[in-house]
A and B are shown apart, each in its own frame.
Chain A
Protein backbone atom coordinates (compact mmCIF):
# COMPACT_ATOMS: atom_id res chain seq x y z
CA UNK A 1 0.00 0.00 0.00
CA UNK A 2 0.92 3.64 -0.20
CA UNK A 3 1.37 4.10 3.52
CA UNK A 4 1.60 2.26 6.82
CA UNK A 5 -1.79 0.97 7.87
CA UNK A 6 -2.74 0.18 11.46
CA UNK A 7 -5.86 -1.45 12.81
CA UNK A 8 -7.98 -1.08 14.75
CA UNK A 9 -7.88 2.68 14.95
CA UNK A 10 -9.36 2.61 18.46
CA UNK A 11 -9.59 -0.22 20.96
CA UNK A 12 -11.26 -0.28 24.35
CA UNK A 13 -10.33 -3.25 26.49
CA UNK A 14 -11.44 -4.29 29.94
CA UNK A 15 -8.62 -4.78 32.41
CA UNK A 16 -7.29 -8.30 32.11
CA UNK A 17 -8.36 -8.73 28.48
CA UNK A 18 -5.90 -9.68 25.73
CA UNK A 19 -5.57 -7.40 22.69
CA UNK A 20 -3.90 -7.67 19.29
CA UNK A 21 -2.85 -4.65 17.26
CA UNK A 22 -2.03 -4.96 13.57
CA UNK A 23 0.48 -3.10 11.42
CA UNK A 24 0.65 -3.34 7.64
CA UNK A 25 3.90 -1.67 6.55
CA UNK A 26 4.79 -0.26 3.16
CA UNK A 27 5.44 -3.10 0.75
CA UNK A 28 9.13 -3.98 0.53
CA UNK A 29 10.14 -2.16 3.69
CA UNK A 30 12.73 -4.17 5.56
CA UNK A 31 12.51 -2.48 8.93
CA UNK A 32 9.47 -2.30 11.17
CA UNK A 33 9.26 -0.52 14.52
CA UNK A 34 6.65 -0.37 17.27
CA UNK A 35 6.42 2.66 19.52
CA UNK A 36 4.24 3.46 22.54
CA UNK A 37 3.07 7.04 23.03
CA UNK A 38 1.53 7.87 26.38
CA UNK A 39 -0.68 10.94 26.68
CA UNK A 40 1.37 14.12 26.42
CA UNK A 41 4.62 12.27 25.81
CA UNK A 42 6.88 11.51 22.89
CA UNK A 43 6.87 8.05 21.32
CA UNK A 44 8.94 5.45 23.15
CA UNK A 45 10.61 2.58 21.31
CA UNK A 46 9.19 -0.88 21.97
CA UNK A 47 10.64 -3.30 19.46
CA UNK A 48 12.28 -3.66 16.05
CA UNK A 49 12.03 -6.19 13.23
CA UNK A 50 14.36 -6.60 10.29
CA UNK A 51 12.28 -8.67 7.90
CA UNK A 52 10.93 -11.49 10.09
CA UNK A 53 13.69 -11.32 12.68
CA UNK A 54 13.01 -9.47 15.92
CA UNK A 55 16.40 -7.91 16.56
CA UNK A 56 15.56 -5.69 19.50
CA UNK A 57 12.80 -5.99 22.05
CA UNK A 58 14.48 -4.01 24.76
CA UNK A 59 11.65 -1.48 24.96
CA UNK A 60 8.85 -3.94 25.70
CA UNK A 61 7.70 -2.95 29.21
CA UNK A 62 6.86 -6.44 30.46
CA UNK A 63 6.51 -10.04 29.40
CA UNK A 64 2.83 -9.34 28.78
CA UNK A 65 3.90 -7.64 25.55
CA UNK A 66 4.70 -9.79 22.55
CA UNK A 67 5.29 -8.88 18.90
CA UNK A 68 5.69 -10.94 15.76
CA UNK A 69 6.25 -10.50 12.04
CA UNK A 70 6.23 -14.08 10.79
CA UNK A 71 6.50 -13.47 7.04
CA UNK A 72 8.45 -10.26 7.12
CA UNK A 73 5.52 -8.04 6.23
CA UNK A 74 2.47 -7.63 8.52
CA UNK A 75 3.25 -7.37 12.23
CA UNK A 76 1.09 -7.90 15.29
CA UNK A 77 1.66 -6.47 18.74
CA UNK A 78 -0.11 -8.50 21.39
CA UNK A 79 -0.72 -7.40 24.95
CA UNK A 80 -1.88 -10.00 27.42
CA UNK A 81 -3.87 -9.29 30.59
CA UNK A 82 -4.07 -5.57 29.84
CA UNK A 83 -3.56 -3.09 32.66
CA UNK A 84 -4.61 0.54 32.91
CA UNK A 85 -1.02 1.68 32.46
CA UNK A 86 -1.08 0.08 28.99
CA UNK A 87 -3.46 2.82 27.82
CA UNK A 88 -1.59 4.69 25.09
CA UNK A 89 -1.32 5.17 21.36
CA UNK A 90 0.67 2.42 19.71
CA UNK A 91 2.50 3.56 16.60
CA UNK A 92 4.02 1.43 13.90
CA UNK A 93 6.71 2.70 11.53
CA UNK A 94 8.48 1.11 8.61
CA UNK A 95 11.65 1.91 6.69
CA UNK A 96 13.10 0.75 3.38
CA UNK A 97 16.50 -0.01 4.90
CA UNK A 98 18.13 -0.29 8.30
CA UNK A 99 19.92 3.03 8.33
CA UNK A 100 18.21 6.27 9.28
CA UNK A 101 18.92 7.87 5.94
CA UNK A 102 16.07 5.86 4.40
CA UNK A 103 13.61 7.68 6.60
CA UNK A 104 10.73 6.32 8.63
CA UNK A 105 7.03 6.32 7.72
CA UNK A 106 4.51 6.15 10.55
CA UNK A 107 1.00 4.81 10.64
CA UNK A 108 -1.88 6.69 12.27
CA UNK A 109 -1.64 4.53 15.36
CA UNK A 110 -4.00 2.50 17.50
CA UNK A 111 -5.39 4.25 20.56
CA UNK A 112 -5.78 1.65 23.33
CA UNK A 113 -7.89 2.50 26.34
CA UNK A 114 -7.98 0.01 29.19
CA UNK A 115 -10.98 0.42 31.50
Chain B
Protein backbone atom coordinates (compact mmCIF):
# COMPACT_ATOMS: atom_id res chain seq x y z
CA UNK B 1 0.00 0.00 0.00
CA UNK B 2 1.11 3.53 -0.68
CA UNK B 3 1.07 6.53 1.63
CA UNK B 4 1.97 10.20 1.34
CA UNK B 5 3.27 12.54 4.02
CA UNK B 6 3.08 16.29 3.75
CA UNK B 7 4.80 17.49 6.90
CA UNK B 8 3.89 21.16 6.56
CA UNK B 9 0.23 21.90 7.10
CA UNK B 10 0.74 25.57 6.35
CA UNK B 11 3.53 27.54 4.67
CA UNK B 12 3.46 31.35 4.91
CA UNK B 13 5.61 33.23 2.42
CA UNK B 14 5.95 36.76 1.07
CA UNK B 15 5.14 37.60 -2.51
CA UNK B 16 8.05 37.10 -4.95
CA UNK B 17 9.91 34.85 -2.48
CA UNK B 18 10.79 31.26 -3.38
CA UNK B 19 8.84 28.39 -1.85
CA UNK B 20 9.23 24.64 -1.38
CA UNK B 21 6.37 22.36 -0.35
CA UNK B 22 7.57 19.02 0.92
CA UNK B 23 6.19 15.62 0.02
CA UNK B 24 7.45 12.18 1.00
CA UNK B 25 5.88 8.93 -0.08
CA UNK B 26 6.00 5.29 0.88
CA UNK B 27 5.54 2.48 -1.61
CA UNK B 28 6.86 -1.00 -2.29
CA UNK B 29 6.33 -0.63 -6.04
CA UNK B 30 7.19 1.86 -8.74
CA UNK B 31 5.02 4.90 -8.49
CA UNK B 32 3.58 7.80 -10.37
CA UNK B 33 3.59 11.08 -8.46
CA UNK B 34 1.31 14.08 -8.76
CA UNK B 35 0.81 17.54 -7.35
CA UNK B 36 -2.67 19.06 -7.37
CA UNK B 37 -3.80 22.56 -6.39
CA UNK B 38 -7.19 23.34 -4.89
CA UNK B 39 -8.54 26.87 -4.75
CA UNK B 40 -11.38 27.64 -2.32
CA UNK B 41 -14.64 25.92 -3.21
CA UNK B 42 -13.14 24.34 -6.30
CA UNK B 43 -12.03 20.88 -7.38
CA UNK B 44 -8.50 19.63 -7.84
CA UNK B 45 -6.38 20.96 -10.68
CA UNK B 46 -3.29 19.07 -11.83
CA UNK B 47 -0.08 21.07 -11.47
CA UNK B 48 2.37 18.44 -12.65
CA UNK B 49 3.10 14.73 -12.65
CA UNK B 50 6.05 12.38 -12.68
CA UNK B 51 5.63 9.16 -14.65
CA UNK B 52 9.18 8.26 -15.70
CA UNK B 53 12.27 9.75 -17.28
CA UNK B 54 13.72 13.06 -16.17
CA UNK B 55 13.43 13.52 -12.43
CA UNK B 56 12.82 17.26 -12.78
CA UNK B 57 9.26 17.89 -13.82
CA UNK B 58 7.90 21.26 -14.90
CA UNK B 59 4.25 22.09 -14.52
CA UNK B 60 1.81 24.92 -14.92
CA UNK B 61 2.02 28.36 -13.31
CA UNK B 62 5.82 28.19 -12.98
CA UNK B 63 5.88 25.24 -10.58
CA UNK B 64 8.36 22.39 -10.77
CA UNK B 65 9.07 19.27 -8.73
CA UNK B 66 11.96 16.88 -8.39
CA UNK B 67 11.56 13.15 -7.95
CA UNK B 68 14.18 11.69 -5.61
CA UNK B 69 13.88 7.93 -5.43
CA UNK B 70 16.54 7.42 -2.76
CA UNK B 71 14.84 9.89 -0.44
CA UNK B 72 11.32 8.91 -1.58
CA UNK B 73 10.52 12.57 -2.02
CA UNK B 74 8.74 14.73 -4.57
CA UNK B 75 9.06 18.31 -3.34
CA UNK B 76 7.26 21.12 -5.15
CA UNK B 77 9.08 24.40 -5.80
CA UNK B 78 8.46 27.82 -7.28
CA UNK B 79 11.21 30.44 -7.54
CA UNK B 80 8.89 33.43 -7.10
CA UNK B 81 5.34 33.19 -5.78
CA UNK B 82 2.36 35.43 -6.45
CA UNK B 83 -0.59 36.34 -4.28
CA UNK B 84 -2.73 34.24 -6.62
CA UNK B 85 -0.77 31.10 -5.64
CA UNK B 86 -2.51 31.12 -2.26
CA UNK B 87 -4.29 27.76 -2.19
CA UNK B 88 -4.17 24.21 -0.83
CA UNK B 89 -1.62 21.91 -2.44
CA UNK B 90 -1.92 18.13 -2.42
CA UNK B 91 0.73 15.56 -3.22
CA UNK B 92 -0.56 12.19 -4.44
CA UNK B 93 0.83 8.82 -5.47
CA UNK B 94 -0.46 5.93 -7.54
CA UNK B 95 1.15 2.66 -8.50
CA UNK B 96 1.10 -1.10 -8.40
CA UNK B 97 -0.66 -3.67 -10.49
CA UNK B 98 -4.23 -3.63 -11.60
CA UNK B 99 -6.17 -0.41 -11.45
CA UNK B 100 -4.36 2.46 -9.81
CA UNK B 101 -6.11 4.83 -7.45
CA UNK B 102 -4.62 8.06 -6.17
CA UNK B 103 -3.57 8.22 -2.54
CA UNK B 104 -3.36 11.78 -1.23
CA UNK B 105 -1.44 13.55 1.48
CA UNK B 106 -3.22 15.78 3.97
CA UNK B 107 -2.34 18.93 2.04
CA UNK B 108 -0.27 22.07 2.57
CA UNK B 109 -1.88 25.48 2.67
CA UNK B 110 0.31 28.06 0.93
CA UNK B 111 -0.35 31.57 2.21
CA UNK B 112 1.23 34.32 0.13
CA UNK B 113 1.18 37.80 1.60
CA UNK B 114 2.27 41.14 0.11
Question: B99 to A93, Cβ gap below 8 A?
Answer: no
For the complex, give the distance between the alpha carbons of A42 and B9 in Å.
11
Of all chain B residues, which has the CB nearest A58? B101
> When A108-B42, A109-B43 are in contact, do A101 and B51 touch as well, CB less than 8 Å?
yes
Please, which residues of chain A bring their CB within 8 A of the CB of B43?
4, 6, 91, 106-109
Q: Which residues of B contact A41 (CB under 8 A)?
A: 106-107
Given the contacts A101-B32, A103-B46, A43 and B90 also touching, CB distance less than 8 Å: yes
| Chain A nearest CB, measured from B92 CB (Å) | 8
Decide yes or no whether A2 CB sits under 8 A from chain B.
no
Question: Chain B: how many interface residues by the 8 Å CB criterion?
Answer: 26
Q: Mask for A36-61, Cβ within 8 A of B = 1, else 0? A: 00001111110010100001100000
Q: Number of A interface residues, CB 8 Å?
A: 29
With the chains together, A99 CA to B101 CA distance in Å? 8
Q: List 20 A-B contacts (CB under 8 A).
A: A40-B107, A41-B107, A42-B106, A43-B104, A44-B104, A45-B101, A45-B103, A56-B101, A91-B44, A98-B99, A99-B100, A100-B32, A100-B51, A100-B102, A101-B32, A103-B49, A104-B102, A106-B43, A106-B44, A108-B42
Mark A residues whose CB is within 8 Å of B.
4, 6, 31, 33, 35, 40-45, 48, 50, 55-56, 91, 93, 98-101, 103-109, 111
A42-B106, A43-B90, A99-B100 given; name 15 further pairs at CB < 8 Å: A40-B107, A41-B106, A42-B90, A44-B104, A45-B103, A56-B99, A56-B101, A98-B100, A99-B99, A100-B32, A100-B94, A100-B100, A105-B46, A106-B45, A108-B42
